[in-house]
Amino acid sequence: MSSHSADTDAPAILAEVNPAPVPRRVLVANHRDFHWITEKVCGIVESKTPLWWWWCFGVAAFVASFTVAGLTYLVATGVGVWGHANPVNWAWDIVNFVFWIGIGHAGTLISAILCLLRQKWRTSINRPAEAMTIFAVVCAAIFPVFHVGRIWFAVLPGFLFPFPNANGIWQNFRSPLEWDVFAVSTYGTVSVLFWYIGLIPDLGTMRDRFTAAGNLLKARIYGFFAMGWRGSNRAWSNYEMAYLILAGIATPLVLSVHTVVSFDFAVALIPGWHTTIFPPYFVAGAIFSGFGMVMTLMLPLRAIYRLEDLITQYHIDCMCKITLATGTMVGYAYSMEFFIAWYGANPFEGFTFINRAFGVYWWSYWIMVTCNVVTPQFFWFKKVRENTTLVWILCLFVNVGMWFERFVIIATSLARDFLPSSWGYYSPSIVEIFTFFGTFGVFSVLFLLFIRFVPVMPMSEIKAVIPQADPHGADHHHGAAALESQA
């Protein structure tokens, strides 16, 4: 698409320096037009429910029932049905919580930060990534809520949630768990709002299409959620501003949520938890795992619905590179932890890290390092990035590795802390394993419902990044003037 034309009649000395224009990558391949995009995205919702969807939904619902059954048993019987014991009082519950919360990070990052940074490639993937965020937060919230001993009190106002009461008892605002309550609930709320605001124009489109097709029931339902969207100039203007404000609000949340989650450990005094590197390390890890999960979900979706024109190789490249960058940051953090443990000359700290790598849980440490540090290094190679199957497999490893990272941090530090007399070994119970396994079902059920009933891509936003959306036409689009105007 390079269309730079040199003017042969120009003087020897240029009146002004025209930097060599950077060829902009195409975000929608094959010159697809507005209509094609609308048809493609809406078609997924409007077409007859495919058989594979029913199969997937059935399996997912079955798997989700494991979580429901596990939690019912847990509440009815006691937390003892899980494998916790002194000294490892947190294990899979908090590992799973941090794992799912971490996955949620990519969604907000793509929606908010990339939006503010005008990374236009985000448009094809932000809707499913945001949906993924919300569903991941749902899965994440299960664990801290249910791992407590007396859930019937935990959910009452006045215990975890501040509530004026006659006794004047308030929460302990010094506790990182209390910060978690606020951080996660804020994050969940903002994520839902952000997702929903972004959906409104597309819901309007859906409503109009169903109205035109004569399906009034669906038209009403979509119409209800479209909140009277008419696509007027004023509506667009307000909409864009609302979206931008939400992006502004959500951006610090991307950093704050996982920072606060990392405080659960960093504020404690257990060797292996009590480290100041945790906030950036956790955020990097969260983004890393989030992008891993986005690709895990998007690549099959792309293949099934033939969305190659919308999710191009360029998109995959971008995501792979972010994964590579954050994975390397995580690797740096791992090595820095070791360095500080040695440099700090605290024997307890030093032991903890040696124990992580060579102690009873050595296998989990090396799974973590292999998956999180070694795996993303393959993304240096273009050939790897272009092999979608390979990318997908590598992303699975990233997901596994990030789960193990949380396990290594939480379980190994607790299992061998200060006094050797209380050292122990944690292994999960079958109830715990199935409850966690079931959350993948919960997530899948929600995600399948999402792709079935909600436009999986923001049509309006994609349309805005294709050449046709440029009012000045293709002539200037790649020219210097266009670049200037963009700047």
Partner 1 sequence: MKRKFDHSAPAALPNGPKYWRSLDELADTPGFREHLAREFPDGASSLEGVDRRQFMKLMAASFALGGIGLAGCRRPESHILPYGKSVEYTIPGLPLYFATAMPLRKWALPLLAETHQGRPTKLEGNPSYTPHGGASSLLAQASVLDLYDPERAVAHTKGGATLTTGQVNDLLAAIHKTYAGNGEGLAFLADQSSSPTRARLVAKLRQVYPRAVWAEYEPVQDEPPVAAAQASFGRNVRPLYRFAAAKRIVSLDADFLHSEAGALYYAREFAKGRRVVKADDDMNRLYVAESGFSLTGSMADHRLRLASNHMLALTAALANAVLETKVFAALTQGLDVNPEWIAKCAEDLRQHEGESLVVAGAHQPVQVHVLVNAINAKLGNLGKTVDFVAAEPDGASTIAALATAIKGGAVRTLVVVNGNPAYNAPADLEFGTLLKSVPDVIRFGYYADETSALAGTHLAATHYLESWGDARTVDGTIVPIQPMILPLFNGLMELELLARLAGETEAEAYTQVRTTLGGLTAGDPLKAFEKFLHDGLLENSAFPVVPVAFDPQRSAAVFAKNPAPAALSKDNLEVRFITDHKMDDGRFANNGWLQECPDPMTKISWDNAILISPRLAREMGIAPKGGLLQVARVEEADFVVGKENAHVGEVTVNGRTLRGPIHIQPGLSNYTVVVALGYGRSASGHIGTGTGCNAYAIRTSDAMGFVTGAKLVRTEQRALLANTQEHWSMEGRAIVREANLEEYHEEPAFAAALGMEAETPPLYGDMGPEELAKLSPEQRTRIAIARSTTTPRGNSLYETPDFSGEHAKFDGVHQWGMSIDLNTCIGCNACIIACQAENNIPIVGKDQVLRGREMQWIRLDRYYSDGQADAAAFGAEGNKILPEDPQVSLQPMTCQHCELAPCETVCPVNATVHDEEGINVMAYNRCIGTRYCANNCPYKVRRFNFFDFNKRALDALYMGPIGHQDDMPELVKMVKNPDVTVRMRGVMEKCTYCIQRIQQAKIAQKRQAGASGNVEIPDGTVRTACQQVCPVEAIVFGNVKDENSRVARLKAQDRNYAVLGYLNIRPRTTYLAKLRNPNPRMPDYAALPLSRVEYSRKNHPQHGEGKDAKPEHGGEHA
Residues that bind partner 1 (CB under 8 A): 73, 76-81, 83-87, 89-90, 144, 147-151, 153-154, 159-160, 169-172, 174-178, 180-181, 264, 267-270, 346-348, 351, 354-355, 358-359, 414, 416-427
How near is the Cβ of 175 to partner 1 at its closest, in Å?
A: 4
How near is the Cβ of 329 to partner 1 at its closest, in Å?
A: 26
Q: What is the DSSP string of 368-420?
A: HHIIIIIGGGGGG-HHHHH-HHHHHHHHHHHHHHHHHHHHIIIIIHHHT-S-G
Kindly report each contact of residues 464-470 with a partner whose C-beta sits within 8 Å and lies 24 or more positions away, as own/partner: 464/123, 465/27, 465/28, 465/120, 465/123, 466/27, 466/28, 466/32, 466/33, 466/34, 466/37, 467/31, 468/33, 468/34
How near is the Cβ of 67 to partner 1 at its closest, in Å?
A: 16
Kindly state the greatest CA–CA separation across the chain: 87
Distance in angstroms (rounded) separating the CA atoms of residues 464 and 37: 11
Distance in angstroms (rounded) separating the CA atoms of residues 68 and 63: 9
Q: Which is nearer to partner 1, 52 or 173 (CB)?
A: 173
How near is the Cβ of 81 to partner 1 at its closest, in Å?
A: 6
How near is the Cβ of 265 to partner 1 at its closest, in Å?
A: 9
Q: Which is nearer to partner 1, 17 or 76 (CB)?
A: 76
Distance in angstroms (rounded) separating the CA atoms of residues 349 and 355: 10
Q: Which is nearer to partner 1, 57 or 418 (CB)?
A: 418
Distance in angstroms (rounded) separating the CA atoms of residues 104 and 471: 36
Q: Which is nearer to partner 1, 175 or 370 (CB)?
A: 175
Q: Estimate to the nearest angstrom the gap between the alpha carbon of 389 and the chain centroid.
A: 21
How near is the Cβ of 86 to partner 1 at its closest, in Å?
A: 5
Centre a 10 Å sphere on the Cβ of residue 288 and count the other Cβ atoms it contains: 30
How near is the Cβ of 336 to partner 1 at its closest, in Å?
A: 19
Q: Is 130 in contact with 110 (CB distance < 8 Å)?
A: yes
How near is the Cβ of 358 to partner 1 at its closest, in Å?
A: 5
Strand partners, 157: 161
111: DSSP letter: I
How near is the Cβ of 258 to partner 1 at its closest, in Å?
A: 18
Instruction: Provide the residue count of the chain.
Output: 487
Q: Is 93 helix (H, G, I), strand (E, B) or coil?
A: helix
What's the Cα-to-Cα distance from 434 to each of 68, 205, 221, 450, rounded to whole Å?
10, 41, 36, 24
Amino acid identity for residue 432 in this structure: E
Amino acid identity for residue 227 in this structure: M
Distance in angstroms (rounded) separating the CA atoms of residues 207 and 202: 9
Q: Which is nearer to partner 1, 165 or 485 (CB)?
A: 165
Q: Which is nearer to partner 1, 263 or 378 (CB)?
A: 263
Q: Which is nearer to partner 1, 5 or 86 (CB)?
A: 86
- Using N-to-C axis directions, what is the helix angle for 313-343 and 347-358, rounded to 10°? 130
How near is the Cβ of 105 to partner 1 at its closest, in Å?
A: 23
Distance in angstroms (rounded) separating the CA atoms of residues 417 and 89: 13
Q: Which is nearer to partner 1, 58 or 344 (CB)?
A: 344
Q: Which is nearer to partner 1, 153 or 224 (CB)?
A: 153
Q: Which is nearer to partner 1, 83 or 467 (CB)?
A: 83
Q: Which is nearer to partner 1, 144 or 201 (CB)?
A: 144
Tokens describing residue 342 = 């040695």
How near is the Cβ of 362 to partner 1 at its closest, in Å?
A: 8
